[in-house]
A and B are shown apart, each in its own frame.
Chain A
Amino acid sequence: MAKNKQEAVFTPIGQNHSKNGKFEKSVDLPPATRKKHTTLGLSDDDVVEMFRLMYLQRRFEERAMQMYQKGKFGGFLHLYIGQEAVSTGTVFALNDDDDIITAYRDHGWGLVRGISAREGMAELFGKATGCSKGKGGSMHFANTEQHFWGGYGIVGGHIPIGGGLAFANKYLDNGQISTCFFGDGAVDQGSLHETMNMAQLWKLPVVFVVENNGYSMGTAVKRHTVGEIYERAKGYGMKHACFNGMDALTVYENMKEIADEVREDSEPYFVEIRTYRYRGHSMSDPQKYRTKEELEEFQKTDPVERIRQYLLDKDVLEESDIEEIENKIEEEVLDAIDYAEESPSPEPEELYEDMFAGTPYFHDKK
């Protein structure tokens, strides 16, 4: 007797289509560090500043989302909400002149590397006062003076460039290292593998960091890539690590060790930081690919709540101090919105500016 033939399946089946009703999390969080900030070499002021920066990123984006929904600006808006511990822990671990480059989920990175709420919001609004003069928008925040080389919109496209920043640092022998951040979706791009091979072969001082937030747009990690992400490093003989990205102190602790080591021996590192994206991929995402239960579970590990509670538990700040910081940030963000609204749009002539560092040339321009 011929058996009933089953239809072929290619991509593994996702949470909401699963027939066995099993709830499988898209990403498993390794435990957070148990060390106190002082043990890690951070002062009380440092950890307060960490909270301040994280709360700024959170409120900046929550307000940006409102403005977007009100139709104040167009384009894409990819929110970093839920991942703020990664950017924050990292900038504290790096030297100020170490390079950072990231993908399009870049607002948080800009805010921790010197872009003011005003310049950031104005960029979202497409204003001349924006950090990229309104030429880049949400996906292309940058502050190259402070070694933030920008957000990039082609998945995996900036990974070789991150390798190139490290190449330059080695060439110039300037003691700087480069860090290149991207999402779990970019792990599947060939550009990563070409760059990892050369980085290891050429001993480039670069840290490749996967911010594994569980989803490549709407496709869960287990549905788009094989095996554990950090294990890819093994194929290149590259040092690797995997840690919790929902706790800023854990990110700091690990990134500090890694950065010091990369600086010391000029060899690359491949890091998987596990985190979670609370919002959709972009604003137009109905999020049918994940369950409410999963989102709620990760919201219990909210990195901003966590550091806030830490400050209280360790008696670094009183509730009233924290509220004062929060109120100030709220004002800063509201002021940024006013600033963005009142700022001028780029002048029409600016369409032709910033194309060339040398002599400009525009074919057939009258």
Chain B
Amino acid sequence: MAVLQFREALRDAIDEEMARDEMVFIMGEEVAEYNGAYKVTEGLLDKYGFKRVIDTPISELGFSGIGVGAAMKGLRPIVEFMTFNFAVLAADQIINHASKVRYMLGGQASVPIVFRGPNASAGQLGATHSVAYDSMYAHFPGLSVIYPSEPDDAKGLLKSAIRSEDPVLFMESEQMYGLKGEVSEEDDYIIPIGKGKIKREGDDVTIIASGKMYHVVKQAAEQLAKDGVEAEVIDPRTIKPFDIEMVIESVKKTNRCVIVDEAHPFGGLAAEAGFLIQREAFDYLDAPVQRVTLPDVCAPFAKNLFDIWLPDAKQVIEAVNTVTYRN
């Protein structure tokens, strides 16, 4: 195992796949000469040159569509967004085209493309830079959505995403790029898309969280353990396909579940997972499933309001206390 920063794990994945397949290229704002807004692509321009590491203008709709067209002709674009908050301008290409072209042409074309970049909030950046889009994209058929929490998951899953024959949205976090973690040194390390991981075993409650929220939950679980509550923490890693089997198996053991999701409450992952759990494990539940999400309000700037807005370990512990009737 090597200890790598999250950004280094991502870079290794991109580097390995670019070395392996000449059809893979990366484009986006500041990916080449600037070496990446968050230094994910640092050094790739020097290694692969201007043909395969391409700076784009600030035209998310335009360059995303160029990526879709290139993918239809057999290239494997990695389209980097400086944040998925900006990718909303490209939503027509992701939602109306990347996910639908194959179906509406009766299977005559495929779109092997990866859209990646940071997702959700990153501190006090105001209302338009703070939204989690994983659940929204997961809504659309044909799109896989990955939101890993640790460098090892990031590397193995990004390699899978680049090799996927179909469009994948790969989500990261500005606040996690410097996060260090052990990463497998296995040759050609691949993690299959759609498989969750039990990151902490426990018998008292199942807590589900991916991406940045996993780290909030980890903190909460450590605190809960001190109080004698052993949480089982599942990181689905992939939002879609969602590893519901792993969740159901765990809930059948713990009989209680809290879902932590950095999206707003309406129609998010927490809503979907919660529905599936009540249907598939109704007889096993000792308490209604609880969720911790953002409130149904925009991201505020003021520090004190922002801290109330963003889910934290305290809110997770409160939710666990609710499902374990410890309140």
Give the B-binding residues of A (Cβ under 8 A): 99, 101, 130-136, 140, 142-145, 149-150, 152, 154, 157-169, 171-172, 178, 190-191, 194-195, 197-198, 201-202, 353-358, 361-364
Contacts and interface: CB of A to CB of B under 8 A. Distances in A.
Nearest to B275: A364
28 contacts: A101-B69, A131-B106, A136-B104, A145-B108, A150-B109, A154-B96, A157-B65, A157-B96, A158-B97, A159-B65, A160-B68, A161-B68, A161-B93, A163-B62, A164-B65, A164-B66, A164-B67, A164-B70, A167-B69, A167-B70, A168-B70, A171-B51, A194-B63, A197-B57, A197-B62, A357-B107, A361-B194, A363-B241
Contacts of B96: 154, 157
Contacts of A169: 73
Contacts of B173: none
Contacts of B54: 202
Contacts of A363: 138, 141, 240-242
A133 B106 contact: yes
B106 A136 contact: yes
A146 to B, nearest CB: 11
Given A144-B72, A166-B69, 6 more contacts: A132-B106, A142-B105, A162-B69, A355-B103, A357-B112, A358-B166
Given A144-B108, A168-B74, A194-B61, A163 B142 contact: no
Contacts of B138: 363
A167 B57 contact: no
Contact of A140 (B70, B92, B105, B112): B105
Contacts, number: 162
Interface residues of B, number: 48
A161 B51 contact: no
B276 A364 contact: yes
Contacts of A362: 141
Interface string B64-108: 111111111111000000000000000011001100011111111
Contact of B62 (A142, A195, A356): A195
Contact of A168 (B69, B102, B165): B69
Interface of B: 25, 51, 54, 56-57, 59, 61-75, 92-93, 96-97, 101-110, 112, 138, 141-142, 144, 164-166, 194, 240-242, 276
Dominant SS at the B interface? mixed
A167 B64 CA distance: 12
B65 A201 contact: no
Contacts of B144: 361
Contact of B166 (A162, A197, A202, A356): A356
Nearest to B63: A198
A191 B64 CA distance: 10
A171 B23 CA distance: 9
A358 B57 CA distance: 32
B66 A132 contact: no
B165 A356 contact: yes
B162 to A, nearest CB: 12
Contacts of A160: 61-66, 68-69, 93
Nearest to A143: B108
A208 to B, nearest CB: 13
Contacts of B242: 363
A260 to B, nearest CB: 22
- In the A-B complex, list the 3 residue pairs whose CB atoms are closest, starting with the nearest: A164-B69, A160-B65, A194-B62
Contacts of B241: 361, 363
B61 A135 contact: no
A134 B68 CA distance: 23
Nearest to B92: A157
A160 B66 CA distance: 5
A161 B69 contact: yes
Nearest to A144: B108
A164 B112 CA distance: 13
A100 to B, nearest CB: 12
Given A161-B68, A354-B107, A358-B164, A191 B102 contact: no
B92 A165 contact: no
B313 to A, nearest CB: 30
